[in-house]
Structure 1
Amino acid sequence: MADRFSLKIMANHRCLLKNVWNRFYAISRSTATNNSAQNGDDVETCFKRLGDLSFNDTQEAFKSKSNFDLWRALIVLNLCSYETLVQHNLTLMNTTKKIFGQRIFETLMRWSFYGHFVAGANEKDIRPSINRLRAFGVKSILDYSVEADVDTVEKSMEIEDIGGIVDRRVGVISARTYTYEGEPECDRNMEIFRNCISAVTDYTGGTGFSVIKMTALGRPQLLLRLSDVIVKYQNFFKLLTRSDLNNLTECKLSEEQFAKRLDELGLKTDSKELKDWFRECDHNGDGQLDIYEWSRLLDQKFKLAKMFKIVNLRTGKVESLIPDLSELEEAQYRNLIRRIDILAEFAQEKNVRMMVDAEQTYLQPAISRLTVELMRKYNKKKPVIFNTYQAYLKKTLCNVKIDLQIARRDDLYFGAKLVRGAYMLQERERAGAMHYEDPVNPDYDATTVMYDSVFKEIIEEVKKRPMGKVAVMCATHNEDTIRHVLNIMRSNGIGPQQHVCCFGQLYGMCDQVSFPLGQAGFSVYKYVPYGPVEGVMPYMSRRVQENSGSGGMLAKSSRERKMLRQELKRRYKKLQFFYNPAKYASYPEYL
């Protein structure tokens, strides 16, 4: 009897173990299949899932949205179509807060604009949003989007004139512009960026990006002066080597060639000062100068005034390009370098990729140069640092070629984010006021051509280097550009598993592109802002303007509204009154 009972128990155990194993195997296989679909499929498999490239499938586009989400999106985008409301949106939000009080105001915002454009108040709040994105094939770029109120900033400080622009916020809709409020504020910004990097590690499973702006980490006036110096040094080097921007990185100058060139320019070359200058500039000691010898840019012990010296071709004397830099300014520069280096090292330690945002052209030479130096230091084993390139500028292709050449020469991982750009109106106004050539492409079509040309150049570099050494994020809402990028990927056999190309769009915008791409297996990211309602009001204001006629995205917003209405009608016809997105998740293990 006991033996029979024991046999029965053993049989039950075997049955239970078999069921547990089958369940575990099924889940493991499902998870493996999902992960394969998301990260390991070839490009043709992804294209089959995607179908045509019209991005008209409302069911795929809004699979992750509840009916409430769709109604909220439709109402918010409809409100954005009223120009009067858009022009006074920040005033209206402040008035609503005064009338109803903070609590009711925040509730209204969470049901409307805040809930649509912002993921949550803090790192803990945003986790469900990040998980839901991931469950539908979309990854995250985290950004703590709290900004000081414009009026508060202006009352608390005197805004500094930066290169002829008194207020860099004027004429800029789609990008945040930091104003310098002192070194303690820059330290606080650094801590905010550090927290974002930690959040990427904690909440995205190492798949996300973080973003920094250098003007948040130091005095913009220093970046302006450094940019001016870099341009002057480039012109000086071009004159000595008789080169142009396209082959500048390939040119080297030996001490003998340097002396010969100065002779041709009518300068005495037996000067000890000139020989000392050459050897001082030859930081790596190989007996040759190149355009990017300044490996000491990230050295906090080295003074800028000593680093940037050139030969005055009229007098033959060696002169500093920054002769009047004060001790305070030198200290401010060292603080800037310290902050960006801390963030880059922290990102590397946390295995997080860090994007450096592009800014105005009169600051960009310094920002790009410092970013390249960060790449030299941190991109030796994996792509940690990503530079940003703005396609609306005439010199973008040339600048990308230079940086690709540096990465190839130094055997670095090259990471790029390609955008159209955010500062067009301000750039044109400054060029007109200061009487120099407009740096911006003449029209939208020319910018599109530039965007396509830069992407093709990067793909050509992908072919020349080991797979994975070059990566690019195409951050755009333009469907034609996305189709063009997809077709180039297809023709070159580039799939998601090769980690070459990914896409990026803003949270709450362009869902008809992001989600179908992600669910098909392509690598797609949403720029996910977070912060308390009060602090992100300026961010929400910019998103409202972008979705209006004044932001230039009215046609795209109109298309999204039409698709939202179509999806609501489709669901109600199928009696899906209580639609549950979790049932349709492509990767339910993330929920």
Structure 2
Amino acid sequence: MVSNDTSAAPKKNVLSFENTEIAFKHLSNGSLDRAYWLFKAINNNTLVKVGPPMTNFAMKIGLPIKSIIKATIFKQFCGGETIAECDAVIKELQAGHVGTILDYSVEGEDEESIFDFTRDEIIRTINRATGDKAVPITVFKVTGVGRFGLLEKLDTGAALTAEEEQEWQKVQERVLAICQKAFTAGVPVMVDAEETWIQKTIDGLAMDMMRKFNQYKAIVYNTYQIYRHDKLESLKADFKVAKLEGFILGAKLVRGAYMEKERRRAAEMGYPSPIQATKEATDKDYNEALKFCTDYIEKIAFVAGTHNEDSCLVLTNLMTQKGIPHNHPHVYFSQLLGMSDNLSFNLGSADYNIAKYVPYGPVKAVLPYLFRRAQENTAIAGQMSRELSLILKEKKRRKV
């Protein structure tokens, strides 16, 4: 039984995110060097700005740079080009008590045949995860199985044409097929959050899937981007619905991935920005969301997707206060492959449930993901400096 008594003082948390020996045990000296030089390059704002267009141009005219990309930024942040190619990374993470979330990261497509292929590929990730504790969770984006423009129109409430109605029906069928497979296999699947102007439709789909498949176990998880000023209340409102209708709420909590894009669109179109006014406001709501989820741990299953050390410590302290076991099935931590290894591997070493997002797909198709990752990282104050300082600390410890 989980205690709801939060009055007791938290026990001393012995977890340390400064332990670089645990954090980088999986990396050879050569891999550590590669990570150092890569993060040093990403830390250069000019390089991050000019790199993507130069790389795209080189790929278009056929310059042989694929091997360079695959040996550097792709190797740091991606598991491979196929599920099978990810096996080495899956085993490496598992050795450090860290799970894998296979993330098919092809973006920006709008053909029905590709949407069908993506549905089938997501189902293949569920098949790969079935019966394997090393792959505890799966994930997909609704824009991977449906056209962005259609979702945008649905969000406005505008009437669909007969052709669009058929298209929308196919999107719903693809989402249902993925979630049905996850339910049958007993493998949780997360629905990623996207831009605010298509998110209402995605939220509706995710809630419908939870109603259908989360009656006895958390299978479907929706994603809450807490950098939005309305999402803490949205989380609480969805829990009220789940409690009333008798299903377990699945929630992935993230700060968010489209901040600059969201603010720019709001300014251009003349509506209030959906983004929190300050980082402090985002941090406050994120940590409050963690507290809310742990308050109702038997009825909410959640994934704390965060690279923020303070939030990770907040959650571990909440779990200690409330007597929630480190390996409680309703609590997972998550970070991205190639980043914040000091969080992931130290959490895994302390027996917390932890899984890394492992993106995969053809190099050329995954480039938009990789470029966004680099741009996001430079936008996070201190993130690259933190990564570099930890790598330097480990190099010094190894005397290399």
Do the structures match in fold with TM over 0.5? yes
Structure 1: distance between partners of 2:321 and 2:43 = 39
Partners in 2 of 1:184 and 1:228 — Cα distance? 26
Counterpart of 1:224? 152
Structure 1: state its 5+ residue gaps. 1-46, 148-177, 230-321, 574-591
Q: 1:51 aligns with which of 14, 24, 37?
A: 14
Aligned to 1:552: 380
Q: How does 1:515-554 map to 2 (within 5 A)?
A: 515-548=345-378, 551-553=379-381
The residue matched to 1:437 in structure 2 has which SS?
A: coil
Contact 1:404–1:461 (Cα < 8 Å) also in 2: no
Say which SS state the counterpart of residue 252 (structure 2) adopts. Answer: strand
Distance in 2 of aligned mates of 1:482 and 1:491: 14
Selected match of 1:476 from 306, 310, 317: 306
Alignment check: 8 A CA contact 2:257 2:376 kept: no
Q: Is the 8 A contact 2:103 2:138 kept in 1?
A: yes
Task: Tell whether the 8 Å contact from 1:206 to 1:352 is kept in structure 2 after alignment.
Answer: no
Per the alignment, residue 569 of structure 1 pairs with: 396
Counterpart Cα distance in 2 of 1:141 and 1:182: 26
- 1:421 and 2:256 aligned: yes
Distance 1:437 1:97, change over 3 A: closer
Tell me which moved more, 382-391 or 524-533.
524-533
Q: Which one of the candidate residues 333, 349, 370 is aligned to 1:503?
A: 333
CA distance in 1, matches of 2:275, 2:204: 20
Shift of 1:410: 2.0
Q: How many residue pairs get matched?
A: 390
Q: 1:128 to 1:380 in 2, by over 3 A?
A: same
The answer as to 2:42 corresponding to 1:69 is no
Where 2:363 maps in the other structure, the secondary structure is coil
CA distance in 1, matches of 2:148, 2:56: 30
- Name the amino acid aligned to 2:89: S
Pair 1:131 & 2:91 matched: yes
Give the C-alpha shift of residue 432 in structure 1: 3.2
In the superposition, the TM-score normalised over structure 2's length comes to: 0.90
The whole-number CA distance in structure 2 between the counterparts of 1:223 and 1:96 is: 33
* Distance in 1 separating the partners of 2:59 and 2:143: 31
Residue identity in the other structure for 1:192: E
Which of 265, 289, 293 aligns to 1:430? It is 265
Cα RMSD (Å): 2.3
What CA distance in whole angstroms lies between the structure 2 residues aligned with 1:545 and 1:325?
A: 36
SS at the partner of 1:75?
Answer: helix
What's the offset of the Cα at 1:87? Answer: 1.0
Q: Does 1:195 align with 2:124?
A: yes
Alpha-carbon distance in structure 2 between the residues aligned to 1:344 and 1:88: 40
The structural deviation recorded for 1:396 is 0.9
Secondary structure of the corresponding residue to residue 210 of structure 1 = strand
Aligned residue in 2 for 1:348 = 183
1:366–1:96: structure 2 CA closer, same or farther, 3 Å change rule? closer
Q: Report the identity percentage.
A: 35
Can you give the 5+ residue segments of structure 2 that lack an aligned partner in the other structure? 1-10
Residue identity in the other structure for 1:77: F
1:108-158 deviation line (CA, Å, top 9, x unaligned) = 3343212111111212211111011011010011012234xxxxxxxxxxx
Is contact 2:102–2:135 with CA below 8 Å preserved after alignment? no
Distance 1:100 1:339 in 2: 35
CA distance in 1, matches of 2:268, 2:386: 38
Counterpart amino acid of residue 539 in structure 1? Y
Structure 1 residue 346, shift from structure 2 partner: 1.2
Cα distance, 1:368 vs structure 2: 0.8
1:262 is aligned to none
Provide the residue aligned with 1:78 in structure 2. 40
Partner of 2:214: 379
When Rg is computed on C-alpha atoms for both structures, the one with the higher figure is 1
Label 1:187 to 1:360 Cα distance change in 2 as closer, same or farther (>3 A).
same
